[in-house]
Amino acid sequence: MLKGSQISTISYLIKQLPKATVFVNMRSEIVYVSDKWLEEFNFSDQILSGKKIFTLLSRTSKEGRQALKACLQGEKQKSIIERSLFLASEKQYEWTYSTWYDDDENIIGAIIQSEDITHLKQTELQLEKRELLLDEISENGNIGCWEYDAVQDKINWCERTRAIHEAAPDFEPNIENGINFYKIGYSRNTISMAVDRAMRDGTPWKEKLQITTAKGNDKWVIAAGRPLFNNNKFIGLIGTFQNINEHVVSEIKTKESQQLLRTLIDNLPLNVFMKDIQSRKVLVNKHELKFCGVEHEKDIIGKDDFDFMDENSALRSQEEDRYVMTTLKPILDQEKVVTRKDGKSITFLTSKIPLMNDVDEVIGIIGFSLDISNIKQKEEELKNLINVTSLQNKKLINFAHIVSHNLRSHTANFSMLLDFLVEENDESEKETIIGMLTHASDNLLETLENLNEVVAISSNVNLEKEPVNINNKLTAIEQNLSVFLKNYDAKIINSISDDVSIQAIPAYIESIFMNFITNAVKYSSPERKPIIKLSSTSKNGYTIVSIEDNGLGIDLKKYGSKLFGMYKTFHTNKDAKGMGLYIAKNQIEAMGGKVMVCSEVGKGTIFNIYFNEKN
């Protein structure tokens, strides 16, 4: 047992221990306690001697109580971490139980020391967290690390760095074979220089480079490193190694497909455009730029059709855009004529398709327009050509029928008359028949002459047109017809200016005017003296000569379609043969012109002859 003074000395000593310490006897009753302990567990200024320790700290864990028990039986020192000795405190303590012996090595109790390890624990936790985080980053970012020990000239790779290199587990990396992983050329040169510079002047590096792995695969990596110095002495390098291959490859692929798309769009023989929901252009290709008369895409982005088309075209185009965006139905291959701001019209075959985003909302349209102006023009020309050809064909067939009809009717007469002649006995009747045969023969000759005349006009398509002064020709015709005009007491009033000339074939002009003027006189009204008025105007590339008479007039409703037909006559006039107008019309058309007529029965007729001013 300890003596009284001894006890107080011991007690005083223990009281001052810097560590929270408590001495308990075999019954777990407090014998000595340090001030630090009292302070730590909030018992300052209390007398705790004789009180049971676990009564004071009732939340002591089961392990703690057992540790004390074991300790009092002489077992080895044991440390227990107590997490929740107090309510509402997160403090953690490490309790160390040691056996308390007297001078004679008898167990007289236990020495319990408590240390606040809250801070320690937290640091530990943080470290653990950081390590986890690092692992996570390394895992997800595909980042490894490495370290070079200059003293031992050895490189240490972490697992990931090794994995990125696809190196065997027993591969021992060093500076030389490390650098040799980099691709010959840019990558290897860059890394060599970076390492060299880092060793010499301490510059860190971070480069995007390519390596070839141990298995022969090419990979993109970001290699970073910095030198380590100890007392200004270079002792090694440390760095990271990130596999960015997937990223780079997909970036390259994206760039490639972007370029492919752009090249494709630009070189399509189409106008391609993308518009936003307000019909403003957001993407155009080269053809569309050209159509808009703009050199750079930036000058077109954000503008709409009103900036490049006339109002009507732009309105119609925006109408289509709205239709596509509201109904989500595409417009496909629609033919339309678009007029640009400068007035030029282009025929397009246009398609417009709604453009959706990834949640299926409409965000604009994509459009394609094919310029078919040339095709349209060709089509138009072809149509005209077909029209002309079919007209010519019709004329030809008509002419063939006329020829056939005329020749057949004469030969029919011949054969009939000859039959009669053979069977006829009466001499006087024979005379009559022979007279008729002669007449028929004359008719046939005349018919052939007429046909020749027509054929001549149709086959002389190569006759050159030349400038012909109209009044010069008219004066000559008037002189030729002077007797004829006098007989009918006809008067010609000519208001055509002396300087009017037309492009024409001179021989045709004579024939044409002769025909119309003699017709006008021949079919004059018996009730009045014939007056023929001549005048001219110019319109749409034609010089129009009008020949107006005050004659019988003609019922165009009845005869209009036959007026210019061959062998068509409409008056009981003996001279009428139905050739004049037919030939005149053929001559006018052979010179690229046309003839129009208006007439009123009993009042007169106006023929308007259109002479084409072009060759």
Partner 1 sequence: MKKINLICIIDDDPITVFGIKKMLKSVSDCDSIDTYSNGKLALDGIKNKLETTQQVPEVIFLDINMPIIDGWQFLDEFITLPASNRARINIITSSIDPADRAKWEYYKLKTTHNITFNYKPLQKQDLFEITKIA
> Which burial class, exposed, middle or buried, applies to 67 when counting CB atoms under 10 A from its CB (0-12, 13-18, 19+)?
buried
Q: Give dist(CA 480, CA 482) in Å, integer.
A: 6
Q: How far is the CB of 601 from partner 1 (least distance, A)?
A: 13
Q: Residue 602 has which token pair?
A: 């009993």
Q: What 3-state DSSP class applies to 79?
A: strand
Nearest residue (CB) to partner 1, 59 versus 571: 571
Q: How far is the CB of 562 from partner 1 (least distance, A)?
A: 8
Alpha carbon of 26 to those of 53, 71, 74, 188: distances in Å? 11, 10, 11, 75
Q: Which residues contact 523 (CB under 8 A, 6 or more apart)?
A: 549, 551, 552, 554, 571, 573, 605
205-212 vs 154-157, strand pairing mode: unpaired
Q: Which is nearer to partner 1, 252 or 397 (CB)?
A: 397
Q: Using an 8 Å Cβ cutoff, are 367 and 273 in contact?
A: yes
**306/414 with CB nearer partner 1:** 414
- In the complex, minimum distance from the CB of residue 410 to partner 1, in angstroms, rounded to a whole number: 8
In the bound complex, what is the minimum distance in angstroms from residue 538's beta carbon to partner 1?
37
Write 345-351 long-range contacts (CB < 8 A, 24+): 345/373, 346/291, 346/371, 346/373, 347/371, 347/372, 347/373, 347/376, 348/271, 348/372, 350/320
In terms of CB distance, is 279 or 406 closer to partner 1? 406
* Shortest Å, Cβ 373 to partner 1: 41
- Looking at the Cβ atoms of 373 and 413, the one nearer to partner 1 is 413
Phi, psi of 322 (to 5 degrees): -65, -40
Q: Which residues pair with 362 in a beta bridge?
A: 356
**Cβ-based nearer residue to partner 1, 345 or 392:** 392
By beta-carbon proximity to partner 1, the closer residue of 260 and 396 is: 396
Q: What is the number of H-type helices and E-type strands within the chain? A: 18, 22
Find the angle CA(605)-CA(611)-CA(614) to the nearest 5 degrees: 165
Q: Are 608 and 595 in contact (CB under 8 A)?
A: yes
Query: Would you say 219 or 410 has its CB closer to partner 1?
Result: 410
CB of 606 to partner 1, least distance (A): 22
Q: Which CB, 424 or 453, lies closer to partner 1?
A: 424
Q: Nearer to partner 1 by C-beta: 503 or 524?
A: 524
Of 217 and 404, which CB lies nearer to partner 1 in the complex structure? 404
Smallest gap from residue 412 Cβ to partner 1 (A): 4
Residue whose pair of structure tokens reads 């008369």 in the numeric block: 293
**How far, in Å, CA of 390 to CA of 345, rounded?**
30
Q: Which is nearer to partner 1, 426 or 499 (CB)?
A: 426
Minimum CB separation of residue 419 from partner 1 in Å reads 8
Q: How far is the CB of 400 from partner 1 (least distance, A)?
A: 9
Residue 509's closest CA among 483, 540, 543, 538? 543
Q: How far is the CB of 347 from partner 1 (least distance, A)?
A: 39
CB 23 within 8 A of CB 100: yes
DSSP, collapsed to helix, strand or coil, labels residue 364 as strand
Whether 71 and 77 have beta carbons less than 8 Å apart is answered as yes
In the bound state with partner 1, the residue whose beta carbon lies nearer, of 581 and 609, is 581
Minimum CB separation of residue 560 from partner 1 in Å reads: 13
Judged by beta carbon, residue 54 or residue 414, the one nearer partner 1 is 414
In the sheet with 143-149, reading across from the earlier edge strand, the strands are 154-157, 143-149, 233-243, 218-230, 205-212
Structure tokens at 164: 């990125």
Question: In the bound complex, what is the minimum distance in angstroms from residue 504's beta carbon to partner 1?
Answer: 31
Residue 482 Cβ, how far from partner 1 at the closest point, in Å?
Answer: 29
The 10 Å CB-count burial string (b at 16+, else e) for 30-56 is: bbbbbbbbbebbebeeeebeebebeee
Residue 116 tokens read as: 């606040």
Q: According to the 3-state scheme, what is the secondary structure of 18-30? A: CCEEEEEECCCEE
Quote the DSSP letter at residue 490.
Answer: -
Min dist. Cβ of residue 404 to partner 1 (A): 6
* Binding residues vs partner 1 (CB under 8 A): 401, 404-406, 408-409, 411-413, 415-417, 420, 436, 439-440, 558, 567-572, 576, 578
Cβ 430 to partner 1, closest distance in Å? 12
Are the CB atoms for 244 and 208 separated by under 8 Å? yes
Q: What are phi and psi of 314, to 5 degrees?
A: -65, -45
Nearer to partner 1, 213 or 569 (CB): 569
* CA-wise closest residue to 177 among 143, 226, 225, 211: 211
Q: How far apart are CA 298 and CA 200, in angstroms?
A: 49
Calculate helix-pair angle for 427-459, 373-423, nearest 10 degrees.
Answer: 170
